[in-house]
Structure 1
Amino acid sequence: MNPLFIQGYSPSFRVFVFVTVSLVLMTVDHRLHYLKSVRSHLSVVVYPLQYLVDFPVKASHWLSQGFGSRLQLLSENSSLREENLRLRFTLQKLQDLKNENERLRSLLGATTQFTEKVLVAEVLAVDLDPFTRRMLIDKGSEQGVFDGQPLLDARGVMGQIVNVGPFSSTLMLITDPNHALPVQVERSGLRTIAVGMGAVNRLELLYLPNNSDIVVGDKLVTSGLGGQFPPGYPVGEVVEVNPDIARPYAQVQAIPHALLERNREVLLIWNIEPDPVIVKDHHPGTSTQ
């Protein structure tokens, strides 16, 4: 009986045929390169498929690399900002130390001009009352500070102590309205009183007649009268002289030499009184002025 359908070759035979043909083609191509052009054309046809298959892998690699690079850049940027802040802070501290060193050098240089005992003190606080000019310093009775003690900076007279505690004291500046300082015009020897006006850098000179020998630019020094301040210390410079015909006294103002609002260190001084000078009276019945 004839079968209705002719059965094909078995799968095993087909595999054998395909393997044999493949081996023959590979051998021929390897030795004679007959299939080189065919392989080249097939690569062109297959390339888009290869690109599509490989694209997700490459895209994932690019994204991960780009994200990683961005995170690294952000981290480096943050580290650089922190380092920059640290360096700027260090630079500021170095500049502050340099400025402090210069101030102390200037202040200590000024002490070589004094024959009195001196002590450097640091300003702790400034009174914010607009009608007074006072500061708190870090030296008190434990360091020998006393009421009325004069204070200076490297440029001139600053004021005097008005309140003493064990480890701190209050300094009244010469610009305080309650402060009065006997001074002398260095050029002419004219004596007057310099009182504070409450302003940061202004002094008023009292009781100077309209015809007084004083002009703008005259230097003022301590006169030594009153016994509070030693004589000869710089106080200020005359900046305004206005004779007032309606009054017996001229209106005269000066600016202090000391940097009253900028000092962080001040100089306490102990006045060493000179030996008294004995004047012999050759005319009995008369008094020596």
Structure 2
Amino acid sequence: MSSTLFIQRVSLRVRLTLALLLAFLLIFADHRLGIMQPVRSVLNSFVSPVQYLAVMPEQALDNLISQVQSRRRLVRENEQLKEDVLSLQGQMQRYQFLVSENERLRGLLSSESREERMRMVAEVIAVDSDPFSHQVVVNKGSRNGVYIGQPVIDAEGVIGQVVDVGVITARVILISDQSHAIPLRAESSGIRVIAQGVGNTNSIELMHVPHSTELAEGDLLMTSGLGGVFPEGYPVARISAIMRDESLPFAQVKAVPVANLDRIRMLLLLWDSNSEYQPIRTEQDVEEERGL
């Protein structure tokens, strides 16, 4: 037992020197001969899972940040696309409105019959609120040369006539008003009749038609030119029904106006070239007509 006390141990300096020499020897041998390559492969097999687990939180965080940024970008793009679609839809509605309005205006300007007459486009700005009165207000008045009794048409046919004139507006009574009557003639037979409004925009009634009349359903009724208000040859209505009741003195004849009196918006005011009244166009009227 006592002999072990006198055994001399290797010093730490010698151990360190030996370790360094062994390390340099292994480095040299691995660099020249590659003897440590299998060892590194084995060690990498053990270390790789650890490295993967160490990197997972960072990768997960990066993926989360990327997804959040992508989602925000998609949300912004989606909102921008919705705004663009809404804007385009509004422009398309305006475009369709302008196309439709242009077609109506061109229809108005091509609705003349026979002789050339002076004319001016007017727009309906108000409708009489009285259910027993069929009148509308247009945006042309005395400053434009509008006068009482002036005939008014649209792209389809006769609308009515002016009954009241202001400086910048005028009131037009429709042919469907109960107090309005207009002399007509049948296009096919030339029979002259008087049509009166019945308070319904979809119907007018022919007055004092004998039972022996040659009028037939479907006949087109035109202005006759009598009375000096409406020029001859403009379409007014088409006969829809003829009822012959011998107990009554006259046949009951109903007709449907060719113009849509309940949906009128653009009208055409007419002037006779020989009339003392003449159209007066403002700069705004000239610009509007140039745009047609």
TM-score normalized with structure 2 length: 0.82
Aligned with 1:206: secondary structure? strand
Structure 1 residue 147, shift from structure 2 partner: 1.7
Paired with 1:179 and 1:8, the residues of 2 have a C-alpha distance of 136
Aligned with 2:101: secondary structure? helix
TM-score normalized with structure 1 length: 0.83
Paired with 1:217 and 1:174, the residues of 2 have a C-alpha distance of 19
Q: Deviations over 1:210-262 (max 9, x none)?
A: 22121101110112232221222211111111112221122211111223233
C-alpha contact 2:118 2:270 (8 A) present in aligned 1: yes
- 1:166 corresponding residue in structure 2: 167
- 2:213 corresponding residue in structure 1: 212
Aligned with 1:110: secondary structure? coil
The one-letter amino acid paired with 1:234 is: P
C-alpha contact 1:153 1:259 (8 A) present in aligned 2: no
Aligned with 1:238: secondary structure? strand
Q: What is the RMSD of the two structures over their aligned residues, measured on CA atoms?
A: 2.7
C-alpha contact 1:111 1:118 (8 A) present in aligned 2: no
C-alpha contact 1:193 1:205 (8 A) present in aligned 2: yes
Cα distance change on mapping 1:20 and 1:184 into 2, 3 Å: farther
- 2:229 corresponding residue in structure 1: 228
Structure 1 residue 91, shift from structure 2 partner: 2.1
Cα distance change on mapping 1:86 and 1:271 into 2, 3 Å: same
1:80 aligns with 2:81: yes
Paired with 1:88 and 1:25, the residues of 2 have a C-alpha distance of 78
1:257 aligns with 2:247: no
Aligned with 1:54: secondary structure? helix
- 1:25 corresponding residue in structure 2: 26
The one-letter amino acid paired with 1:210 is: H
The one-letter amino acid paired with 1:189 is: G
The one-letter amino acid paired with 1:30 is: H
1:116 aligns with 2:125: no
Q: Deviations over 1:46-92 (max 9, x none)?
A: 12211111011101110111111111111111111111222222222
- 2:70 corresponding residue in structure 1: 69
Structure 1 residue 9, shift from structure 2 partner: 5.6
Structure 1 residue 133, shift from structure 2 partner: 2.5
Paired with 1:263 and 1:15, the residues of 2 have a C-alpha distance of 110
The one-letter amino acid paired with 1:47 is: S
Cα distance change on mapping 1:273 and 1:27 into 2, 3 Å: same
Aligned with 1:115: secondary structure? coil
Cα distance change on mapping 1:93 and 1:34 into 2, 3 Å: same
Structure 1 residue 131, shift from structure 2 partner: 3.4
Paired with 2:25 and 2:132, the residues of 1 have a C-alpha distance of 113
Structure 1 residue 38, shift from structure 2 partner: 1.9
The one-letter amino acid paired with 1:155 is: E
The one-letter amino acid paired with 2:157 is: G
Paired with 1:8 and 1:208, the residues of 2 have a C-alpha distance of 145
Cα distance change on mapping 1:136 and 1:16 into 2, 3 Å: farther
- 1:244 corresponding residue in structure 2: 245
C-alpha contact 1:207 1:249 (8 A) present in aligned 2: yes
- 1:277 corresponding residue in structure 2: none
Q: How is 1:9-48 mapped onto 2 (pairs within 5 angstroms)? A: 20-48=21-49
Structure 1 residue 29, shift from structure 2 partner: 2.2
Structure 1 unaligned blocks of 5 or more: 275-289
Structure 2 unaligned blocks of 5 or more: 276-292
Q: How many residues are aligned here?
A: 271
Aligned with 2:238: secondary structure? strand
Cα distance change on mapping 1:273 and 1:21 into 2, 3 Å: same
Paired with 1:24 and 1:259, the residues of 2 have a C-alpha distance of 109
C-alpha contact 1:229 1:271 (8 A) present in aligned 2: no
Structure 1 residue 114, shift from structure 2 partner: 3.9
- 2:145 corresponding residue in structure 1: 144
Structure 1 residue 138, shift from structure 2 partner: 0.8
